[in-house]
Amino acid sequence: MAMAETTEIEIIGFSDGTCGPFPCDETRTCGLTECAPSENLVTAFAALKTELQARYPDVTLKLTLLDDEVPPYVIKIVEEHQPPLPIVLINGTLAPVGRISVPLITEHLERRTR
């Protein structure tokens, strides 16, 4: 997939939060193995970043931690959509993924380039 411009994926959650609602085991469908079995958001973000930037050089990833402060734009998203954590934004738009998952995030990326 070739992207004409940079795409930013932002993952939002807590530093001690999980990467998703499902337990991490050998049947995990997230597409990541480097972070298993930690289920830690920060560890999973690093693995996701490595994987997606290898596939898509025009993609940047940002981790926003809510431990000390919740930015106003996150408050607005939560008020409007009540998304589960971690929240996934692609170019500032909510992607209803609800977990760190290479296949699900890739699906949203490709949908945006069609």
**What pTM value is reported for the model?**
0.91
pLDDT of 100 over the 70 cut? yes
Burial class (CB in 10 A: 0-12, 13-18, 19+), 47: buried
Kindly list the distances between the CA atom of residue 42 and the CA atoms of 18, 35, 36, 114, in Å, as whole numbers in the listed order. Answer: 8, 9, 12, 31
Burial class (CB in 10 A: 0-12, 13-18, 19+), 79: exposed
| 52 and 30 Cβ atoms separated by less than 8 Å | no
Looking up tokens 């409007």 gives 80
Residues 46-76: pLDDT tens digits? Answer: 999 999 999 999 999 999 999 999 999 999 9
Strands (E), 14-86: 59-65
Q: What is the mean pLDDT of the chain?
A: 91
Residue 52 in domain: yes
Token pair listed for 49: 């970043």
Residues 75-84: pLDDT tens digits? Answer: 999 999 999 9
Tell me, what DSSP letter sits at residue 40?
B
How many domains is the chain partitioned into structurally? 1
Residue 1 in domain: no
Could you tell me the pLDDT band of residue 3, with boundaries at 50, 70 and 90?
A: very low
Residue 74 in domain: yes
Host domain of residue 46: 8-21+29-112
Residue 3 in domain: no
Whichever domain contains 53, its CATH number is 3.40.30.30
Residue 2 in domain: no
